[in-house]
Amino acid sequence: MNIPKEYLNEFPEKIIDDLKESGKGLTDSKFKKVLEKTLEEYKKARITPGECVGLVGAESIGEPGTQMTLNTFHFAGVSEMNVTMGLPRIIEILDGRKTISTPMMEVYLKGKLSGEKVKAHALMLKETLLGVVVDEFNIDIADLKIDVLLKEDKLTERSLTSATVANVIKKAIKKATVTKEDNTVTVKLTGKDASLNELYRTKEKLKDVFVSGIKGIKEVLPVKRKEEFIIITAGSNLNEVMALDFVDTTRTTSNDLYEVHAVLGVEAARQLIIDEVMKVMENQGLNVDVRHIMLVADTMCVNGNIKGITRYGVVSEKSSALARASFETPVKHILAAALTGERDELTSVVENVMLNQPVPLGTGLPGLVTEVKK
Amino acid sequence: MSDVFLNGKYLGKVDDPKAFVASIKDERRKNKLAGSANVLYNDEQNEVYVFSAGGRLRKPLILVKDGKSLMTEQHEKQLEKKEISWTDLVKQGVIEYLDASEEESAYVAFTEEEVTADHTHLEISPLVMFGLCTSLFPFANFTQGTRVSIGSKNQKQALGFYAANYQLRIDMDISLLHTPQVPIVKSVMHDVAEYEKHPSGQNVIVAIMGYDGYNMDDALVINKASVDRGLARSTYYRPVVSEELRYSGGLTDEISIPDKEVKGYKSEKDYAFLEEDGIISVESNVKEGDVIIGKTSPPRFLSGLDEYNLASSTRRESSSSLKHGEKGIVDFVLVSESSNGNRLIQVRLREQRIPEVGDKFTSRHGQKGVIGLIVNPGDMPFTASGLTPDLIFSPHGIPTRMTVSHLLELLGGKIGALAGRFVDGTTFESEKEADLRKELASLGFRDNGTETMYNGITGKKYKARIFVGNMYYLKLRHMVSNKLHARARGPIQLLTRQPTEGRAKEGGLRLGEMEKDTFVAHGASLLLKERFDSDKTIVPVCEECGLIAVYDNYKDKTFCPTCGGDVNISNIELSYAFKLLLDEFKTLGVYPKLNLSNKY
């Protein structure tokens, strides 16, 4: 169905698509009626000028937030994994924290795979440090060497061989000769400063040698979601996981805002903010309209970077010095404003409340212009 | 070998720790060692701890030997005859005190029936697990723990007979219940604590039913006839204190009726109640503003023009007078000396408090509420026998809170009142519900405590039978007359010109940050402005430099202190607090320039 030009500019794309779909098989005159009615409804649904969207949004998120504080279930356990939920998570997202308390990924896989296969893939993701696959470190004081006894079952589980492990060790430890015999890798110090102390330090270093998997993925958990298996991970490394060929890159996500921003861009980060906040809200059984959260997410992402709702983030970019001063560290803002000779145009709410002027919203927005007789 | 620690300090080693600990306990029970010592052998750490220092909380327990309690029937008989006392039992080694550490090694039986050979001690009574207030909670084992906590906390706020020497005391914010009674439903603790000597409540007849919505949300409906007969009447005492302070230079305060020359002299009327010595006469009926103790203080500092003033010796008025909303009758005047040796005048005011709508009451079950309505006796519901309840309690308070003890007390109280006896409601050891029901039936009442009742207004019979009985009710210290507050206009703060804060200062009720947000959210911009008008001012502003100008009332002219007189000056309206902010900017060295433009 074709939509007349005069209507095309009235609607957003989504509604135009919907109209095209639902208008199939209608006569022109009937379709016209549909368009008229739609336009009427659409205009009614739009926010009126002077509506205080930000504050209403803040109240709509803030009010359920007060109920959330009373709820003790801030941490929801996904079997062995603890996930930060509830108020702490919301604060974390909205503050735009660089490091989050529980980074997590949901890795979707290409095609339908059996549980066994998924498990194997999962173990490939998991970060394996040498300490995990080692049975015992034997320090030989006399020869200044360490015998590393590997655990066979742990190796096969991760499809590793003692040879690859030996190679990894060789790369990681300088100034030492690495030899392999069955399941024992022997590290012998060679350098001039080879001492017992050095040997002990080497042993500690060996424990943390990265063997296989993906860095940062602390734990993996294959979970059946609907018809397929996905892998939930503790720890996040979106970039490297997406590079794997068995991973469905279109659906795989992380809950780390900055990582998603770096790998997938702002739009993805914005969507993540919305999804994550909504997830918490729904989890707590709270009903918050997405559009409030969308507004927050938009504010956080407008200039292409993520800014938290803090005095360093969004608040620092308010145009009014008075408004900034009224939110934490006033003296700092006032002095900075004085140094640059800032001019406050009193265009927002807080400043006008301070001066006891009508706020430029709602009934305070429109002005009647009358010519005053002199 | 294991280490021994005395009060946390290493002392030495013993070969056989178990025998060592056993011998200490044994010696202690034989009074060869101080009774205050406690021992514990920690086998995991292989260490013996001995404690004898003060400050440990200890609990008395009956000793058990070979599966038998050392407390025999003979002991009980002797106790009843008062041949022996508690200390004798401790001396005989029947009862011993354990601290938190030694309790770790004790196996305590809760009741005598469950004692086995493994037990080392027996609880004296299950009641000892509670504190004093909780022990006074009848039938507590029938009610949720949280409610029991609330109930025992509430009892601490009850009015009663708080001290026998109350007439000689000057206490702050204290009330005395006029006719306190001993509860019909008692616990053992009421006797132990000699509750009859300082009771704090009254037995009232309670009906559990609604009354036209006046007892919604935990409100109570009470009978005016009961109030008129003195139910829950109390006296509120408040002190007024004034001290004759001494200042440097030999100057002192003087308690007397201030001269008319004194700075800040009120009016003759305000001093009317004062006797010659400047102290109010006993039994005078005073209200807000009346001076209780007349006092003048020396001038704060002699400086400036005062030196040339002929009347430079003007003293300041510093009398104590009743604040906003206070009233009372002068009960008692005490002239004494303060710890600094200054003359100290203490006046105690008394005020009779008759229960009114808004006063807070509670039963002993965490079922508190405020009076919602005082009903004329004629309009109260009545039973078939013509009995009207003193108090109507809403049934909606019961299901969610599950205070079964509240209902049991009602039943027990009814039996007590009818049979003329006290009912034992001791937690875990109370009289059984079945027995109580049987007794009530034998007294000629329905065993479940319900009765047929009639509506006092229409005279119609209620379809449901109403649960009526006697309960012990407590009047709590929170009375509306101490809290009621409203303001239209009133005093403002000197600095900000905003309304003062708090009831005592006749303060405003703040429209806070979040309340402000709701106005903004509604777009009610002009209403918001009006609400924040409390400190609005008109200020002349120099259009040249943007600073606040000066209005010279004498010359009727405005001028700018920085630019002089020949500039455009406009009057603008803003909040005084903002003007103050601008002044504070100036002290920071920041130049706050106001750029004026026409709004229209």
Q: Where residue A261 falls among pLDDT bands split at 50, 70, 90? A: very high
DSSP string, B305-336: GGGG-TTTTPPEE--EE--TT--EEEEEEEEE
User: In this complex, which of A338, A355, A362 lies closest to B523 when CB atoms are compared?
Assistant: A362
pLDDT at B304 > cutoff 60 = no
Say which of B525, B577, B581 has its CB closest to residue A364. Answer: B525
Please count the residues of chain A: 374
DSSP string, B420-466: TS-EE--TTTPPPHHHHHHHHHHTTS-TT-EE-EE-TTT-PBPSSPE
More confident residue, A184 or B15: B15
Residue B47 domain-assigned (yes or no): yes
B496 contacts in chain A (CB < 8 Å): none
* B583 CA: distance to closest CA in chain A (Å): 13
Both B280 and B220 in one domain: the answer is no
Confidence label for B312 from pLDDT (cuts 50, 70 and 90): low
DSSP assignment of A88-109: HHHHHHHHT-SS-SS-EEEEEB
Residue B600 lies in a domain: no
Residues B309 and B343 in one domain: yes
Backbone angle region of A235, left / alpha / beta, with phi > 0 → left and psi within -120 to 50 → alpha = left
How far B548 CA lies from chain A's nearest CA (Å)? Answer: 14
Give this complex's ipTM.
0.75
Q: How far apart are CA A94 and CA A92, in angstroms?
A: 6
Check CB contact under 8 Å for A362 and B578: no
Q: Is A353 in Cβ contact with B528 (below 8 Å)? A: yes
At residue A70, does pLDDT exceed 80? no
pLDDT band at B351 (very low <50, low <70, confident <90, very high): very high
Return all residues near B187 (Cβ < 8 A) that are at least 6 apart.
B127, B135, B136, B137, B138, B424, B425, B426, B427, B430
- The pLDDT-based confidence of A1 (bands split at 50, 70, 90) is low
Q: How far does B156 lie from chain A, in Å, by closest CA? A: 28
Q: Quick check: B595 and B560 in contact, CB under 8 A? A: no
Say what the pLDDT of residue B467 is.
96
Residues of A at the B interface, defined by Cβ within 8 angstroms: 50-52, 55-56, 58-59, 331, 334-335, 338, 343, 349, 353-365, 367, 369-370, 372
Check residue A243 and give left, alpha or beta (phi > 0: left; psi -120 to 50: alpha). alpha
Q: What is the pLDDT of residues A158-167, one digit of tens each?
A: 777 888 888 8
Within a domain: B483: no
Q: What CATH number should be reported for the domain holding residue B280?
A: 2.40.50.150
Tell which wins on pLDDT, B599 or A76. Answer: B599
- The structural domain count of chain B equals 4
- Tell me: do B521 and B411 sit in the same domain: no
> At which of B353, B368, B394 does a domain end?
B353
| Exposure string for B499-512, b = 16+ CB within 10 A, e = fewer | beeebeebbbeeee
Mutate to test the interface with B, among A328, A333, A356 (most CBs of B within 10 A): A356
Confidence bin at B582 (pLDDT 50/70/90): very high
The count of CB pairs under 8 A between chains A and B is: 79
Residue of B nearest to A62 (CA): B514
**According to the model, what pLDDT value does residue A123 have?**
84
Amino acid at B237: Y
Do residues B221 and B199 share a domain?
yes
> CA–CA separation, B440 vs B426, rounded Å?
19
Distance (Å) from the C-alpha of residue A290 to the closest C-alpha of chain B?
A: 18
Helix axes A13-22, A28-45, angle to 10 degrees: 150
Q: Identify which of B320, B323, B299, B321 has the alpha carbon closest to the alpha carbon of residue B311.
A: B299
Helices A53-70 + A290-301 axis angle, to 10: 110
Say if CB B379 and CB B264 are below 8 A apart: no
B335 and B454 both lie in a single domain: no
* Contact across the interface for B521 and A358, Cβ inside 8 Å: no
Determine whether the interchain pair A353/B523 forms a contact, defined as Cβ–Cβ distance below 8 Å: no
Q: What is the mean pLDDT of residues B475-489?
A: 92
The residue of chain A nearest to residue B591, with distances taken between CA atoms, is: A338
Task: Tell whether B361 and B345 lie within a shared domain.
Answer: no
Query: Mean pLDDT across the stretch A131-140?
Result: 80
Q: Is residue B481 part of a domain?
A: no
DSSP result, A157-188: HTT--HHHHHHHHHHH--SEEEEEETTEEEEE
**B192 and B207 share one domain:** yes
User: Are residues B148 and B105 part of one domain?
Assistant: no
Assign B332 a pLDDT band (cuts: 50, 70, 90).
Answer: very high
* The length of chain B, given as a count of residues: 600
pLDDT digits (tens, 9 = 90+) for A227-259: 888 898 888 999 999 998 889 999 999 999 999
B23, B162: one domain: no
| β-pair type (A210-212, A184-189) | unpaired
* Separation between Cα atoms, residue A247 and residue A53, nearest integer Å: 40
B244 and B201 share a domain? no
SS3 B201: strand
- Other Cβ atoms less than 10 A from the Cβ of B182: the count is 15
Q: Please give the structure tokens belonging to residue A254.
A: 């992380």
User: Which pLDDT belongs to residue A167?
Assistant: 83
For residue A338, the chain B residues in CB contact (below 8 A) are 585, 588-591
Q: Which domain holds residue B15?
A: 2-129
Confidence of residue A2 (pLDDT cuts 50, 70, 90): confident
Mean pLDDT of chain A: 85
User: 3-class SS at B48?
Assistant: strand
For residue B431, the model assigns a pLDDT of 94
Please tell me the distance in Å from A362's CA to the nearest CA on chain B: 4
Residue that the structure tokens 């430079």 belong to: B312
Burial class (CB in 10 A: 0-12, 13-18, 19+), A142: exposed
Query: Cα separations (Å) of B60 from B87, B122, B228, B297, B408?
Result: 11, 10, 48, 59, 31
Domain contains B496: no
- CATH classification at residue B530: 3.90.1800.10
Angle between helices A266-283 and A86-95 in degrees, nearest 10: 160
Chain A residues within an 8 Å CB radius of B520: 52, 55, 349, 359, 361-362
Virtual CA dihedral for B73, B74, B78, B81, nearest 10 degrees?
Answer: 60
Q: What is the mean pLDDT of residues B411-417?
A: 95
The set of catalytic residues of B is 218
Which of the two residues, B310 and A351, has the higher pLDDT score?
Answer: A351
How far apart are alpha carbons B367 and B395 in whole angstroms?
11
Residues of chain A with Cβ-Cβ distance to B578 below 8 Å are 354-356
Cβ–Cβ below 8 Å for B591 and A349: no
Question: Are residues A358 and B516, on separate chains, in Cβ contact within 8 Å?
Answer: no
User: Which domain-ending residue is among B105, B129, B153?
Assistant: B129
Q: How distant is the Cα of A319 from the closest Cα of chain B, in angstroms?
A: 17
Please tell me the number of Cα atoms within 13 Å of B447 on its side-chain side: 9
Asked if A356 lies within 8 A of B522 by C-beta distance, the reply is no
Beta-strand relationship, B2-6 and B47-51 = parallel
Residue A72 has pLDDT above 60, yes or no: no
Beta bridge partners of B297: B316
The pTM of the full predicted model, rounded to 2 decimals, is 0.74
B431 & B375 share domain: yes
The token pair that represents A33 in the structure block:
């009626």
Q: Which residues of A touch B548 (CB under 8 A)?
A: none
Q: Do the Cβ atoms of B517 and A55 come within 8 Å?
A: yes
CATH assignment of the domain containing B190: 2.40.270.10
Helices (H) and strands (E) in chain A, counts: 17, 12
Looking at the fold, whether B227 and B169 belong to one and the same domain comes out as yes
The whole-number average pLDDT for the span B550-557 is 90
The last residue of one of the domains, among B353, B378, B399, is B353
Query: Are B434 and B447 in contact, with CB atoms under 8 Å apart?
Result: no
